[in-house]
Structure 1
């Protein structure tokens, strides 16, 4: 904004200087009526000397010509007297016509004033309608990076930034909610670990006591020793149960995947996917074929459904041979299936049942970056939308199918 203010000040000074220079030039111009009327009179004198008369119909300054006699003249106009061919002629003139310098200067200054007002109005509009709202946003990324998410972003009716400000505020709320959920999850996870750790101590203490007793032959009776061994096995099973809970908590609860259930048309979903991937696949020279489908209303979250298909498409591009990707549609009375197929699959059939597990990566992904969460997230989202996802391999072609419920 400071740079704009400097530009605005410089332009204002330039306009003032322009006014001053133009007025100085006009004021210094000597070719005004006080000189031009003499030129006209000289021309008329020459005509009278030559022809004995002169035509003043096209004259700007001279208003009348007549022989100068002894009669008394009463007039408000200026005049001069010339002797022509031995006779005196009176030339009446007026320099206050439309060519008057003051009138002309007024017109020029009025035009310059209108231009200056319009220019200043445009500059002020840019300042308050575009730059001022943008300046209010300039510190938001920095504040977000520091975690300052509590202050709302005020929505305005600005035609340029109104929707943008609304989007920024929605983003802030989502980040804040995600932060709160993460804190709650961390708290719950810590409480769970503390609880499980405390519960594990009891069977561990019992096992320790049983082991010490056995090592010291405190139970010489064989039957008693068998009972102690069974007790140790029970305590080990109990510990395994606690460990399983810890593993489950660490694997299944690390993501908070919210779904806003609603209704959307199949065409909306496909247009979003094809709109993004057509150009991308053309650039990498991969054929992209979208099969025929009948538009219908689906149940679920449109944003999450787009996320699911994008994850499947990215996997097809990442692990396929890059020759062809195809969307195939099938439907029945209750659901619509969208299958993404690609060739060049090197995944083993034994690995296929595990591709929807979290953090699992097949042998074909050793040299390819990834987290092993894409298809896991897809399955979680599809199930929350009352749908399903599955995969199959046939002759090197893998097909991942997302099943959407009809509305």
Structure 2
């Protein structure tokens, strides 16, 4: 804020200096009070006349009025920028720092400015989303710990029973065959109980722990593709990756527009990350009442037998190497597409890797 004030003072000061210099130049070169004697020829007589130059005050005044108007327009512009842009930015300069620190409970004040209103509204949406995700994460951790504590307590009982049966059999305390058979059956029963607990843990781990939601709606294919073009044309150009989008026939699709773009982004990010960096293409097809969007990248090193596990949560293929990732991108993509009554699948075509989005048409 102080830097802007210094800039404004210097800018307006320079304008005043410019106005002063303009007036000085006009006074020196135009305002000449000295008389001028000129020789004139009239028929056969030669006469001399004295001309007195008068200062052209009208032009001078008009010039000063014009310069004054420009100066006051500059004052208005500087003041307007301070009120509508600089001050709102000054008030929110701490917001990004607070968000980075994890302070998500602090509301972002609304701003009616046509320049920053939508920006602040988006920032507040981001804060709310981060806060909701944080609460969900904390709740998930709580449920996870509760489940672990509960299962740990429950498993102790059959384990103790198995340990007791083993000790009795080891020390030969059961002298009859019937007692030994009873002990074996007891061990088998408790092993089955432990297996049930393990199955419960496995089933719980397969639940939709990300709480993915979609907002059903309709969107034109061109809207989705143009959004992707804007996001990736320059980015892939800077990476020197050939990026092509095949011609397509526009149509109305069923689904959440934001989620469709998110899925396509996930597929393109994977294409860039795990391809050979030479070529990424988007092509299209139709099948009954669906549009097929194919994302192809060159240089596939994934093994064909890995395709069946590729959309599992936390699974990373053998081609991942040292590339950073969580193994959730394709899992999230499939879950989102299924929630929108669509699908996504992958295949290997010669040396190219192709992931296909199946999107319902309206």
Taking structure 1 as the reference length, what is the TM-score of the superposition? 0.74
C-alpha deviation, 1:141, in angstroms: 0.7
| Alignment partners' CA distance in 2, 1:43 and 1:391 | 98
Residues 8-407 of structure 1: matches in 2 within 5 Å? Answer: 8-11=8-11, 36=34, 39=35, 99=55, 110-250=65-205, 252-282=207-237, 286-407=241-362
Once structures 1 and 2 are overlaid, which stretch shifts more, 367-376 or 167-176? 367-376
C-alpha deviation, 1:2, in angstroms: 0.7
Once structures 1 and 2 are overlaid, which stretch shifts more, 255-264 or 12-21? 12-21
- Cα 1:316–1:16 change in 2 (3 A) is closer
Alpha-carbon deviations, 1:235-271, whole Å to 9, x = none? 2232233234334444645423222222111222222
Are the counterparts in 2 of residues 326 and 340 from structure 1 also a CA contact under 8 Å? yes
| Alignment partners' CA distance in 1, 2:285 and 2:187 | 56
Once structures 1 and 2 are overlaid, which stretch shifts more, 297-306 or 206-215? 206-215
- In structure 2, stretches of 5+ residues that fail to align are none
Alignment partner, residue 75 of structure 1: none
Larger CA Rg, structure 1 vs 2: 1
C-alpha deviation, 1:399, in angstroms: 2.8
| Alignment partners' CA distance in 1, 2:248 and 2:78 | 52
C-alpha deviation, 1:232, in angstroms: 1.8
3-state SS, counterpart of residue 304 of structure 2:
coil
| Alignment partners' CA distance in 1, 2:361 and 2:312 | 26
| Alignment partners' CA distance in 2, 1:117 and 1:292 | 54
- Cα 1:255–1:125 change in 2 (3 A) is same
- Cα 1:278–1:120 change in 2 (3 A) is closer
Alpha-carbon deviations, 1:54-102, whole Å to 9, x = none? 778xx558xxxxxxxxxxxxxxxxxxxxxxxxxxxxxxxxxxxx7387x
| Alignment partners' CA distance in 1, 2:262 and 2:255 | 12
Alpha-carbon deviations, 1:276-310, whole Å to 9, x = none? 44444455555444444332222212222222222
3-state SS, counterpart of residue 366 of structure 1:
coil
RMSD, matched Cα: 3.7
3-state SS, counterpart of residue 7 of structure 2:
helix
Are the counterparts in 2 of residues 189 and 249 from structure 1 also a CA contact under 8 Å? no
- Cα 1:310–1:100 change in 2 (3 A) is closer
C-alpha deviation, 1:15, in angstroms: 6.1
- Cα 1:143–1:397 change in 2 (3 A) is closer
Are the counterparts in 2 of residues 32 and 100 from structure 1 also a CA contact under 8 Å? no
3-state SS, counterpart of residue 398 of structure 1:
strand
3-state SS, counterpart of residue 344 of structure 2:
strand
